Amino acid sequence: MAWMPKTQKRRRSARMLWPKVKSILVLAMNYGPEDDPLAVLDRPDRGGISVYARHRDYHDVIKGKLKELAGRLIAEARKAGLGDHDAKVFVDTAPVMEKPIGAMAGLGWQGKHTNLLSRDFGSWLFLGSIFTTLDLPVDEPVADRCGSCTACLDICPTDAFPAPYQLDARLCISYLTIETKRPIPRDLRPKMGNRIYGCDDCLAVCPWNKFAKKASEAKLIAREDLKAPRLADLLVLDDNGFRAFFSGSPIKRIGRDKFVSNCLIAAGNSGDSHFLPIVRRLLADPSSCVREMAVWAFGRLAEPAEVLSAAGEAQDRERDEQVREEWQAVIAMIEERSTERAGRGTV
């Protein structure tokens, strides 16, 4: 997340982004799911995709609506004799602090999971903003209503919250499966379960979701084939197949290689040897990041003798240092387990 220090100055003040701005309208759109988004986590042969990414890219959906609203706002101001004014819209396209600004505008409050919470829609909110030269009356913020609840902190699979209202992105599954270009740390992979794109645990468990409503915008209602997609179908996607399947989806932006590597972690966590034929094929994938996670999944699913045999052959032809290191880590794990078993046998 190197962009954060680079944009720090611009995030401190809206006028650093646009010196003419006098007011900011913050808008929220509900994307509440139709059913329990965590149910897929109990199906290890399926992949868990964050609710927001189960249909069209919300950036495109919301930006179009914001532009339409901004145009109407400026037109109405002109009709009212307020002169010529201007407006700019933002949906994750600039370093705008939507959550704290949204809280200041009275849309809700930032919960202990750091996301904006609403009494009307719970956790399921997309945010966008309209910057304008109009001088508009200011709304009052609402009170924090999290109270003593820590449900969102307690459920996090990777303990990504060092304290309430603080998030360590380096441990967050959403960051690990979407943003980072580096290999996901080995100690975090087992904690990911079958989450292959994002994580909704801290959002879904919030008690304020009892007031949530399902999304009314058709483009935000989940596609049936993305509610609980079969890992076996996703693992065999090549680049063209990936682009076609995720056309119009935010998932498309991370690329096939990163996505398939996420799916390999899920396969490795499944404990299901039926994935082995696919995993074996991916050991020779053109992408080094796919091969690296295929090695990890292979080490989790195959018998030790088969892993050691394959490791010898693979390391002779493997030229990528990180993939070679993954093979070595798998071998070390097998040897450690063998030593532990031998020790238990002599007690």
220, 29 Cβ separation under 8 angstroms? yes
Count of C-beta atoms within a 10 Å radius of residue 93: 11
Instruction: Establish whether 320 is a catalytic residue.
Output: no
Residue 208 near residue 120, CB atoms below 8 Å: no
CA distances from 183 to 104, 138, 153, 262 (A): 38, 45, 25, 10
Distance between CA atoms of 95 and 9, rounded to whole angstroms? 9
Cβ(109)–Cβ(116) under 8 Å? yes
Q: Where are the beta strands (DSSP E) in the chain?
A: 23-30, 48-49, 87-90, 109-110, 116-117, 125-132, 195-197
Q: Which two tokens stand for residue 5?
A: 């220090």
Q: Per the residue annotation, which of 92, 168, 233, 272 is the catalytic one?
A: 92
As a whole number of angstroms, the distance between CA 72 and CA 302 comes to 61
Catalytic residues: 92
